[in-house]
Each structure stands twice: as structure tokens, then as C-alpha cells.
Structure 1
Amino acid sequence: MSTAPLLEVRNLKLSYGGITAVKGIDFYINPGELVTLIGANGAGKTTTLKVIAGLLKPSSGSIHFLGSAIGGQPAYELAALGVGLVPEGRGVFARMTILENLQMGAYVRQGSHSVKSIDHDLEVVLETFPRLRERLSQLAGTLSGGEQQMVAIARAMMARPKLLLLDEPSMGLAPLMVETIFGVIQNLNQHGMTILLVEQNARLALSMADRAYVLESGVITLSGTANELLNDDRVREAYLGVDAKTSAT
């Protein structure tokens, strides 16, 4: 018995300023999957996430989430439906404390969930990121880049998303912090979180994903299991720094 996709994107296009950034792409994500979207800078990856999250309106095409059309709906409505975004650059509220940032993540739950359940989830994210527990009253803007990334992911978790969109979570982070952040991402997925990951470090993204899509100049040029793309000569040369001819000799 087949399972309907959690997210299905069909012929999605987005143009602005006379430029077509996304040129009619199709992809899907099944419940519980970790799917990665890789490609060079300017390929349209962040634009795609913003359209799904409701920060940009598509020019044409359709987006279905949980079987319902959501294309063009505003971000606050999609957050309430279960679409969570951790944006490129973290996007923390710099002049608010860590605790206030995390509480902001739960704003869509007011009226439908008790304070007790929100307190429970706060405890869960602090167990996930124990470093945040030590400094809940600290202003988020004074944290390191890695700590801000922790806040951004924890804030998204507080909304109890059904689909988590992650935009370049390793950007600007030291290797040890990247390992920590991606360990959390992998753990979230192993516990059932459906994730769409945009990540410049293609090798890292493909090493933990179920499936992957390659986006080039607004067009999906390759797709398959993550393992298939890890071993595809085109991907190895373009994104993994491997000379396929040399490696084959």
C-alpha cells in the first residue's frame, strides 16, 4: 500500500525582477524522509524553500502539503499547518533572550495546546541543546554562530512542525559545530521528523539523506537515492570535488 507524499511540488515557477529563478520543478517528499536539494550558489535552492514556507508567492505551479494546496498561502498560516523553516543565516531575534526566541517558536500553538505541553517541548529542546539551558537569559545576538543555529533549530522545533525546512545549516560554522548540528538533524529524522535540507556541503548532505535532487539554474537536472547521486560521476565532479576520470583509473 503506497503512502501519499507529505509534500508534492509540481511545475513550480517563480519569477521576480525579470528573472525566472525557479523554472518549473517537480519533486516530492514522503513522510519520515530526509530529502536534500543540492546545487551551486544561485541555483534557486533558497528561493524554493521560501516559496514552500510562504515567504514568496509562486508565479505558477502547485504545492500540496498533507494533500491540500498551499501555494501562495502566507507564512504564518503554513507555520500553523506544520511547515517549519530554519532560514539561511539563522534569523534569530537578536535583542530577545534565548528563552524568548524559543517561546516565539510556539506562538502558532496558542489556543490549541496547553501551556503544559509547550513547557514539555521546551524541556525536550533544552535536552537536545544543553548549551542553551545554561544561558536562557542571554540575548540571542550575543551568541556564536553555532549557538544561534541551535536556537534557530530549537525555535522551529517548538512549533511541532510536520515538515522541517533547513536552509544551509552548516554555513559559517566550525567543523566540530557542524558535526554537532548535523548529529541533531539526523537524530530528529530518525525519530520521525520529515526534513527538506538545502546544504552547500553536498557530501555531508548526501551522506545522511534518503533521496536527493540536483538543482541547476532553476531546473532539477538529476534525482535519485542519495547513494546513487553520491556515486554519480556528474555529481562527484561538480559538487564533491572528485575527478571521475582520475578516480576511475
Structure 2
Amino acid sequence: MNTDPPNPPSPLLRLDGVQIAYGGIQAVKGIDLELHRGERVSLIGANGAGKTTTLNAIAGILPLARGEILYDGDRIGQVPAHKRLRRGIALVPEGRGIFTRLTVEENLRMGAYSRRDAAGIEADLERVYAMLPRIKERLAQVAGTLSGGEQQMLAIGRALLSRPKLLLLDEPSMGLAPLVVEKIFEVLRSVGKEGVTILLVEQNANLALEFSQRAYVMESGRITLSGSGAELLTDPKVRTAYLGESDEIA
């Protein structure tokens, strides 16, 4: 009888020794990171730490200098961005990246451009409409005339139309009112409950850690700390550096 413990499931995404350089600057200096299926994971750190660069490399927008990215068991470090999208990696970029001159509906349908299952696309549109009712009310509106919060919701909806297994989000709360941010994270929790794996870069560290099951802290192109969201919320270094709390004894 085999009494060996079962092998743990392989991660959906793994970065091994990833280095990224551009413009003569080494922005990411050999990081290791992994996400398991269905996890919500955040990457926090100061501006310039390399967080956005890491997301862009996972999405295929930036090339690797060294190291490897493994996704669903395959090496994808040299796979172009559009093929990564077809395999289920979707990015909601910083600044939203919507098509401002297209309508809301046209933007959403652009998210499904690589799909050929017409019935599935229509079903997913209805699912996004149910999740984002404010977007449904504005389908014929030119996207550039939406409020910042509506544009962010549109960017998330567009990404969901690609049916992602892995959803990458870069600063989804940036410049938005607290009530709008609350709604966006409510939507992201719903997406996570559907089994989509989420990797979040978010300047609001408190919000990110409360949302995430696990988190990584990035400083000057390196991962310096990792743990559960709850653990990092109570870590003195994190509280001082990213949560705006003093480490002095009152």
C-alpha cells in the first residue's frame, strides 16, 4: 500500500528567477513568485519597485532578460502577448486602457476578439451586465465620456470577456472615490469566487492585503517579504512602510 503523501497541486503561475530590463535599467532583479488556482494574491510596494513591470512581463508586454515564467505547466517566457491572452491571461492595465472613441459595448466585445464561440460570448456579456449594471445602462455611450470609476469597471468587464483563468490588475483603485473602490473590489471578490485566479498590484496596501489570501512585498526590483494577507497586515515593517503607521511606542 502506498502511504506517500499526495503531491501538492502545481501552481497555475510560477516565476523563476525573473529579471526584466529596459532602457538600460534592471527593473526586476531575479524574483520568484507563484499563484495557485483560485487564489487572490497581491503585490505591494513603493512606486518604482517593479510591480507594474512584473505584471507586464507576465502578460507578455515586456520581454524577460533572464529567468522563466511557467503557466499551467508550460514555459511561456517567449510566448507573445496575444497567445497568452488566448490561454487565459488577461491584464487590466494601469490607466484602464479603454478605447475612448468606441462605445461601451464595442469595448466589451473587443475583450472577446480572439474567441469564436458566439453563444458563449453572448452568455458572458449577460454575466458581465449582471455584475456591472452601471455599464449595461451605458452600452451605447462613447467610452471616453464615462466617469473614472465606470471606465475602470469597463476595463474589468472587457478583460472578463476573454474568459481569463488568470486576471492581472494594475492599480484598479487609482484616483477613484472610496464608494467606487468598494464596488470594484466587490466585483473582484465575485470574480474570485467563480474560480478566476487574481494577481493584484495596488498602491492602497491595506485594501490589497484585506482582499488577498497571500501577498508579496516588492522593493527595488526584489521580493523582500511574503505571507498571508492577514500576516502582512500585522507585520510591523509592512505597517510602518506601507500602511502609514509609526513604529514608535506611544
**CA offsets 1:134-183 (integer angstroms, 9 cap, x no match):** 11010111101100001000000000000000000000101110001011
Partner of 1:204: 207
Amino acid at match of 1:163: L
TM-score (norm 1): 0.96
Distance 2:23 2:139 in 1: 42
Partner of 1:171: 174
Partner of 1:184: 187
Of 140, 143, 146, the match for 2:146: 143
- How well do the aligned residues superpose, as a CA RMSD in angstroms? 0.8
Distance 1:65 1:141 in 2: 34
Tell me if structure 2 keeps the 8 A contact 1:56–1:72: no
Partner of 1:43: 49
Matched, 1:225 2:228: yes
Matched, 1:103 2:106: no
How much has 1:192 moved relative to structure 2? 1.2
Distance 2:162 2:50 in 1: 26
Of 11, 14, 23, the match for 1:5: 11
TM-score (norm 2): 0.96
Q: How does 1:74-89 map to 2 (within 5 A)?
A: 74-89=80-95
% identity of equivalent residues:
58
Give the number of aligned pairs.
244
Of 153, 159, 179, the match for 1:156: 159
- Give the unaligned 5+ runs of structure 1: none
Distance 2:210 2:138 in 1: 33
How much has 1:245 moved relative to structure 2? 2.9
Tell me if structure 2 keeps the 8 A contact 1:213–1:223: yes
Partner of 1:130: 133
Partner of 1:24: 30
Distance 1:121 1:190 in 2: 16
How much has 1:193 moved relative to structure 2? 1.2
SS of aligned partner of 1:135? coil
How much has 1:72 moved relative to structure 2? 2.7
Amino acid at match of 2:183: T
Structure 1 runs of 4+ with >4 Å offset: none
How much has 1:46 moved relative to structure 2? 0.3
